[in-house]
Chain A
Amino acid sequence: SQQGEEDPQALSIQEGENATMNCSYKTSINNLQWYRQNSGRGLVHLILIRSNEREKHSGRLRVTLDTSKKSSSLLITASRAADTASYFCATVGTYPSGNTPLVFGKGTRLSVIA
């Protein structure tokens, strides 16, 4: 089962607008990561935020983390057509062996219209 759940499932905006995607998760985490996936391609890591951090920036990306609400948001400012992709949040999962590979949500499909 998936730990993180993104919201909305799909988002369509005009070029130049900001895009905000949200992620909620269920258990305590060490870090939360955001990935991007172009159609039919592999995933690319965007940003990692640790549980003791509240906000992080990378270029046009801004990520926030609220551990009390078990939620995170990804903001893409001044969006471009090339930002069209699916965006996934990922958190550390728990398995019977105790090992904790990343568990991904279902993603938000972002369409940026030129």
Chain B
Amino acid sequence: AQSVAQPEDQVNVAEGNPLTVKCTYSVSGNPYLFWYVQYPNRGLQFLLKYITGDNLVKGSYGFEAEFNKSQTSFHLKKPSALVSDSALYFCAVRDRDTGGFKTIFGAGTRLFVKA
């Protein structure tokens, strides 16, 4: 069965500092991996994805993530945080070897960037 773990309920970082939001996953086959962001009272917005190829993927708003197969991780990073990055972030996985139809989400990590 697929599962996603986001070990931190909240991450606090000062504006201008680098940020990392952690994600580990479990699938029976090979994964498609995603990060989404949710602002208050809004639906989720896609940030970036890993499908195949280069393990470092770049996405919207300066975010990037690194796929690490041996550690089954897909941590979200940004070199310099902005106050406007404060939001709820979700990691998600689809199992490509079972057709990739089911997307399973983590519980979410709230990012708070202090000015």
Partners in one complex: no
> Which residues from chain A sit less than 8 Å from chain B, CB to CB?
none
Residues on B close to A: CB < 8 A? Answer: none
